[in-house]
Structure 1
Amino acid sequence: MEYIGHLLEDNNVHARLGCGAGHFYRALEGQDMSGLDVVLWQIVPGFDEISFSWMGGNTDSVFFHYGMTKLATSLGHIDPRKRGRTFCEIFGAYGWAEGLKLMKWLTDHMLVRGVNHFVPHAFSQKEFPDWDCPPHFYARGRNPQFRYYNLLNSYTNRLCHLFSDGQHVATAAVLYHAEAEWSGEYMLFQEPVKQLMQNQIDCDVVPADVLLTSAAPDGELTIHKEQYRCLIIPYAEALPIELVVKLTELAASGLPIVFIDALPTRVSQSVPYSQEIEQLAAQSNISVVPLVKLADTLREWGMFELATTDWQPYLRTYQYRHDQLETVMLFNEHPTGVLETSISLPGEGVWMRYDAFGNTLDLVGEGDNFVLDLRLSAYESAILLRIPAGNEASLPIRNGKARPASGAASRLVEPTEWQVSLATADKYPTFEHWGALTSLRNMSARDLLPRFSGTIKYECQIQDEAMSGPLWLDLGKVYETAEVWVNGQKAGVKLCAPYVWDISEYWKLGTNVLTIEVTNTLVKDQQDWFSKFVQQEPSGLLGPVKLIGPSVK
């Protein structure tokens, strides 16, 4: 039996008494895993810096997006008792507006910060509807997306396995600000963390208690299994005198220490301190850097692992190492935008891309510091694996391209009409014909089906007398889970963008029958209290639907 749990961290109360525990790290010290809970729209795509009204008042969105999860995973990394494990209670109290698309985004948000155990919230045995913190996965057979929920669980389990029992790789340690907040003017730890994450420089947040027992052999800070090339101190008017002395010692050992905006001017206690402050300031490895220059300064010093050709503030990265296996996760956290850049990957060997939904591998390239041309749709992640050259021969690497090349020829799918049928969760897979559409529309529009929750089936025929070779189907915008059949053969399921399938093996010359099932969430039918904090998305297939391939005309 093991002891796990989480605290109330909301809006920085983790370092305060009252509704908070006073100190995040001390409060979780006795547990066997580090932990956190994400509920009540604390984390929302696109609101990483914008405060919004919430049942707890106005959010500190920078904390929720850049700080909260990092607190938990940092403790998992640095505390031997945790054995590298951080769990997250997730999905609860977002309301029925939360579907599998957002669940996948939240899962990736956690994985790319180091969470490797999940406690999904929740199944309910009460009669439907149960208004206690939906969504509920099965919902007495009323949740139309439940039949796809196992796909997200399998994806999550595979990646948690990859990110367990190995070594996290991070460039920097950032001081937890609690003692500074108790002592005077201070900067919240999430401010430098945000600057680092927006520039693909990973870090852990380290409390003073742990720093006091740390060492810096060979100029690198060593805490448990973690090694950091520098230490960052958020602005603090005052710090405990014993910490000031320890920072002086670490700097003298060769560790670069960056103070944001200014050095401390005094200590937390009512004791003489001028000598200790002067000795700290005299160290050659001590630097004072403005917050906005932090990431640029570290890159000038060569303190980074991954490098992009341009600034990508929504690209999140996580690097994890096993014996003869390097794993890099890249996640586009932008709510709508496509991310395109080139990224230099560390080390030498063969790089592969792992599809954790399909459990498949595709060859990416090889060499020393291989440069990858990266394109990620909103909500999309890439899992890259590096192995020593020659080891790939024993792996089931697929032949051919997993996705269409950038700039490949395309053709719009514009049938005379789409035949549309409907099925609620309790009736699926029995559909009732609804009618025909001559163009794709939001099916939740007021003049169509504003209160329908379930599956919308689209069917059409496409004539083709010329195509050959690789062929992909791109559905464009979909709300939200999509399943595709081509000529009666199942092509697969997508929970989020990109809604693209390789349909080469199913396509034929002549008449092709395309069937698309799109399943929305229960929020149209069940307008619960928790969903009122978010703008509802459309329903159905919005397109444009395209065929993509070298022979497309």
Structure 2
Amino acid sequence: MQTKRFLYILSIGVLLSNIAIAQLPAKNMLAWPTVEKQMKPWTRWWWMGNAVDDNNLKIVLQKYAAAGLGGVEITPIYGAVGFEKQYLQFLSPAWMNALHYTIKESNTLGLGVDMNTGTGWPFGGPQVKPENAATKLIIQDYKLSAGEKLSENLKVKEAKQDFAKLQAVTAYGPNGETEDLLSSVQQDGALNWSPKSGVWNIYAAFAGKTRQMVKRAAPGGEGFTLDHLDKKSVDVYLKRFTDSFANKPQGVRSFFNDSYEVYGATWTPTFFAEFKKKRGYDLSKHIKELVSKDSTSEQIARLKSDYRETMDELLLDNFTKNWTNWAHGLKSLTKNQSHGSPGNLLDLYGAVDIPETETFGSSAFDIPGLRRDSADIRNVDPDPMMCKFASSAAHTGGKKLVSSETFTWLTEHFKTSYSQCKPEAEQLFLAGINHIFYHGTTNSPTNVSWPGWLFYASVEMNPNNSLWPHAKGLNNYIARCQSILQAGEADNELLIYWPIYDVWNRAKGLDMALKVHDVDEWLHPTPFYKLTKELSKSGYSFDFASDRLLNKSTVSNNQLKTAENASPYKVLIIPASNMMSPETIDKIVQLATNGATVVFQELPKDVPGLNDLEKRREKLKSSLSKLAFVDEKGISTFKTGKGKIILSNNIQLALKANTINREELTDSGLQFIRRKTASGHYYFLVNHTAKAIDTYLPLNETGKVVILDPQSGLLGKAEMQGNKVRVQIKSGETLFLNVSKEQFENKTWTYLNKAAQKINLTKPWSLHFTAGGPEIPADQKLNKLTSWTHLNDPKLAAFSGTGVYISNFNLPSKNAKEYILNLNQVDESARVWINGQEVGILWSIPFEARIGKYLKAGENTIKVEVVNLMANRIRDMDLKKIQWRNYHEINFVNINYKEFDASNWSIMPSGLIGPVTITPYF
């Protein structure tokens, strides 16, 4: 009895001891940040014809959440033919019910909801009457000799301009004199004036209408495009939403505005008055110069610079800030694509809560095996430096998120693999983007036959895509990356001024829309661009600054502060520029006096604009004359107050002399971006070179290093040599490095040192098809891996879907430190199991995984589930003339905006091609 009691007490003691141990604090381990919904990729979500219903919305939202998406951005567009009875009118009670159901169901699933403040693009609709519509300047000119009177009334000759308003009439005499004739125009348009001598040119200026309609509008969203430059018109536009929302928050996280594509909108009816107030002189006296075809005149360039600056101010104040204030009143944010706007992109991006850039087309990467078919490429390359305009606005404004419309026309329809998506997304991350929005996902009801409803410029991120079963691989990778890229603050040491006046100071053209597609014109030729490319390649990190941003910046502890919650900058760099306002140069000197370090590549040569030109030139000259540079170790330096101004054409030499060190890791070919957190720093390393890199990298930040692999989720303590960290990273791979003073207790990272002889998996494979179409092919026995389109089954040439490969292999002994499975060629994504345990989804180059923990000595089984592209099935449908595309407004087009036809495509390789190998490492 005593023994039983003793054993009972002992067992209770052991149990209590175990409970106590379980309650002890865990070791100090670094882990991945907890993934929140904004860290996952979101998607543009097209509601075709607004043909949505609760049942289908619930089904697709559940699929989106299960695949790892974090949210949707509703953009209603045109509909599919034959489904008109299901259409909902935009903002009608039925449409609002659909919105409320979407938000409620999304909240249940942990998804966020954004919403376009309109349908299609750009903003416009039935509430935009002609008086509120996008406006253009119409000029008509006439000639009169002495004593002559104009024989016709001053009426707009252009058709369909019933709402055009005469705003100015200016006469230009033979000796350069001007005369305002507006008061001489009678109510019927007759001009009651004639010149006394010589031949005079008469210019009549009208505020006409562009007549642009909303592109790709949804039912209930059709109408004229909005006049973004006029506050009253913007207010009228937004009132429709306010009324539909009953002036109450709707649960929309953020309202969205697409890229500015308001074509030919060169004017607003208040322009003359606003110009005089802002620029200080009367533009109506310069109509002739404003519309001049002369592309070389300095005076005309200055006039048009003033015109463009006024456009910038009107767009910023009357639309961007106005719209954002409206959204805040509904407890929502704004997300804006400012590119394409006729204004300073940095300020326009900076005036919203979430700046958003976009990628259009595809980039060329050196990653071996990455497919890039010339027939599937649009004639445009995404430029990471262009993307930095959006991220700079976020960083300098202390904003947490900066997003991108991603993968637009990445390849031809149905040919985009996840492997092709990966480096494009990484290029965005390197540019400072930290929230991917797919372009995109079309809402498609379950009763619509395959391939469902599709948008004409999308990579088809939807459940009908044959790749969809593996979407979680891509989505989880992006979520891991963004969980760190949204942490803390951007860590960029340089602030680089963007000389906008050099861009605006051109005599050619009128308005200047700074488009993503036109960077060859307004960005690439500039010294600013050349300098930023050189600095980036050399290992410096930076953001861009506008005149407005500098004007509100301060200095603290000898560093530049652009916003209260923004990370400070060590140096302000002024690239070579011709034009700079006296106010900006004075502000720069003030920042230096307060302790900042400023480096001029060259001093500005002139002031922009026309008003008080000589007076402002003298002011600039006076300000520059006070910069008494002296030589300090071969560098011209002017010390002022607590700081200094340096003049050096060799920017990197000046930075080095001021102990601003580059990250030498870029010498290896790797690219990087840094984030700063309360406990240390993160480096994001990307290998887009053609080679594997195994080296010790020098880091500017010091401390203990933990490696984090966003592909596998693995992490471990790095091997160090002094302040250098050992990194192994193959072509196409990425890694994060956490650098901290804290000593984490994670396991040591397993490096792949000595490779033993590869194990080739040469035993036969069984292949079973589990899902897809148009028909499920028969099972196959393969003695050798090859594209399943080469197998003896005619169904496989047209098949898009899922095939499962099973084989086995013998591992005589398990004594290596790690084993690497390499699938080599996969078309297009693979999910792997070893001995019944899931390894993961291998969806990108290199198709490799660490599998040591799944292996055993002796016989092992391997199962590989492979999904291929939609391309072969679409090709088959077009060969058979099966109608699958029939939409209103624009039907389905190919990458060159021609009629889509896949019947002449070659069959795309599909399946596990291999060879499959396992390499032991000791």
Q: Does 1:289 align with 2:618?
A: no
**Letter of the 1:304 counterpart:** N
Are residue 7 (structure 1) and residue 259 (structure 2) matched? Answer: yes
Partner of 1:28: 349
CA distance in 1 between counterparts of 2:709 and 2:402 reads: 23
Which shifted more, 494-503 or 410-419?
410-419
Match of residue 661 from structure 2: 304
Amino acid of the structure 2 residue aligned with 1:311: D
Relative distance call for 1:425 and 1:278 in structure 2 (3 A) is farther
Equivalent residue, structure 2, for 1:74 = 392
Letter in 2 for 1:455: T
Task: Find the residue that maps to 1:228 and give its secondary structure.
Answer: coil
TM-superposed CA distance for 1:264, in Å, is: 2.4
Which residue, out of 676, 679, 698, partners 1:344?
A: 698
Q: Distance in 2 between matches of 1:460 and 1:299?
A: 58
Quote the residue 1:138 is aligned against. 462
Secondary structure of the residue aligned to 2:526 is coil
- Counterpart residue type for residue 479 of structure 1: D
**1:545 aligned residue:** 916
Partner of residue 471, structure 2: 149
CA contact (8 A) 1:6 1:36 kept: no
Deviation, structure 1 residue 296: 6.4
User: Structure 1 length normalisation: TM-score?
Assistant: 0.80
The whole-number CA distance in structure 1 between the counterparts of 2:679 and 2:622 is 49
Contact 2:646-2:654 within 8 A present in 1 as well: no
Can you list the C-alpha shifts for 1:252-300, whole angstroms capped at 9, x where unaligned? 555443344x43222224232433333357353323325xxx5566456
Aligned equivalent of 2:598, options 245, 250, 257? 257
Residues 518 and 540 of structure 1 are in contact (CA less than 8 Å); yes or no, is this contact kept in structure 2?
Answer: yes
Q: Secondary structure at the match of 1:405?
A: coil
Q: 1:296 to 1:407 in 2, by over 3 A?
A: farther
Aligned runs of 1:18-417 on 2, under 5 Å? 20-38=341-359, 40-41=360-361, 43=363, 45=365, 59=380, 61=381, 64-80=382-398, 83-94=399-410, 95-126=413-444, 127=448, 128-129=451-452, 130-139=454-463, 142-164=464-486, 166-183=488-505, 187=526, 189-224=528-563, 225-253=566-594, 255-260=596-601, 262-269=602-609, 270=613, 271-272=616-617, 273-280=620-627, 282=629, 283-284=637-638, 285-289=645-649, 294-295=651-652, 298-299=655-656, 301-304=658-661, 306-308=663-665, 311-313=667-669, 315-334=670-689, 336-365=690-719, 370-390=723-743, 392-393=744-745, 397=746, 399=747, 401-402=749-750, 405-415=752-762, 417=764
Task: Pick closer, same or farther for the CA change 1:487–1:167 going to 2, 3 Å.
Answer: closer
Partner amino acid for 1:87?
S
Counterpart-to-counterpart distance in 1, 2:478 and 2:698: 26
Question: 8 Å contact 1:523–1:531 — kept in the other structure?
Answer: no
SS of 1:179's equivalent in the other structure is helix
1:169 is displaced (CA, Å) by 0.9
Matched, 1:522 2:877: no
Change in 2 beyond 3 A, CA 1:210/1:427: same
Letter in 1 for 2:582: I
For 1:465-476, list aligned pairs within 5 A.
465-469=812-816, 470-476=818-824
Say whether the 8 Å CA contact 1:239–1:264 is kept in structure 2.
yes
CA 1:445–1:253: 2 relative to 1, 3 Å: farther
TM-score by length of 2: 0.50
> Equivalent residue for 2:329?
none
**CA 1:138–1:183: 2 relative to 1, 3 Å:** closer
For the aligned residues, what is the CA RMSD?
3.9
- Quick one: structure 1 residues 456 and 194, their matched pair in 2 at CA, closer, same or farther if it must change by over 3 Å? farther
Change (3 A) 1:105 1:452: farther
Distance 1:410 1:401 in 2: 23
For residues 520 and 300 of structure 1, do their structure 2 counterparts lie closer, same or farther at Cα, with a shift above 3 Å needed?
A: farther
Q: 1:472, 1:502 within 8 Å by CA — same for their partners in 2?
A: yes
CA distance in 2, matches of 1:232, 1:150: 42
Q: Deviations over 1:221-268 (max 9, x none)?
A: 2212222222222331222222222333334555443344x4322222
User: Is contact 1:169–1:320 with CA below 8 Å preserved after alignment?
Assistant: yes
Cα distance in 2, alignment partners of residues 243 and 535 from structure 1: 58
Contact 2:408 2:439 in 1 (8 A): yes
Structure 1 residue matching 2:424: 3-state secondary structure: helix
Residues 210-219 or 296-305, more deviating: 296-305
Deviation track 1:302-358 (CA, whole Å, cap 9, x = no partner) reads 3236322x6245x22121122114222111234x54344432234443321223455
Q: Is the 8 A contact 2:772 2:799 kept in 1?
A: no
When Rg is computed on C-alpha atoms for both structures, the one with the higher figure is 2
Cα drift, residue 72 of structure 1 = 0.8
Provide the C-alpha distance between the structure 1 equivalents of 2:844 and 2:711, rounded to a whole number of angstroms: 12
Contact 1:351-1:385 within 8 A present in 2 as well: yes
CA distance, structure 1, for counterparts of residue 528 and residue 895 of structure 2:
31
Q: 1:323 to 1:190 in 2, by over 3 A?
A: same
Q: Which runs of 5+ in 1 are unaligned?
A: 10-14
- 2:471 partner SS: helix
Identical counterparts, % of pairs? 19
Structure 1 residues 338 and 422 mapped into 2: Cα distance closer, same or farther (>3 Å)? Answer: farther
Unaligned runs of 5+ in 2: 1-252, 262-304, 312-338, 368-372, 507-521, 630-636, 639-644, 876-891, 898-904
Letter in 2 for 1:493: I
Say if 1:529 and 1:364 are closer, same or farther in 2 by CA, change over 3 A: farther
Distance 1:106 1:78, change over 3 A: same
Aligned partner of 1:12 in structure 2 is none
| 1:4/1:34 contact within 8 Å kept | no
Shift of 1:366: 6.3
When the two structures are aligned, how many residues end up with a matched partner?
Answer: 518
Q: Which amino acid aligns with 2:492?
A: A
**Cα distance between partner residues in 2 of 1:484 and 1:381:** 21
- Following superposition, the deviation at residue 150 of structure 1 comes to 2.7
Instruction: Call closer, same or farther: CA 1:389–1:479 in 2, change over 3 Å.
Output: same
State the structure with bigger RCO (CA 8 A, min sep 6), 1 or 2. Answer: 1
Q: 1:54 to 1:441 in 2, by over 3 A?
A: closer
Question: Is the 1:423–1:431 Cα contact (8 Å) retained in structure 2?
Answer: no
Contact conserved, 1:21 with 1:27, CA < 8 A, in 2? no
Amino acid across the alignment from 2:827: Y
Q: In 2, Cα distance between the equivalents of 1:484 and 1:56?
A: 31
After superposing the two structures, state which structure 1 stretch, 208-217 or 338-347, moved more: 338-347
Greater strand share, 1 or 2? 1
Residue 473 and residue 427 in structure 1: after superposition, are their counterparts in 2 closer, same or farther (change >3 A)?
farther
Q: Note closer, same or farther for the CA distance 1:58–1:133 as it changes in structure 2 (3 Å cut).
A: closer
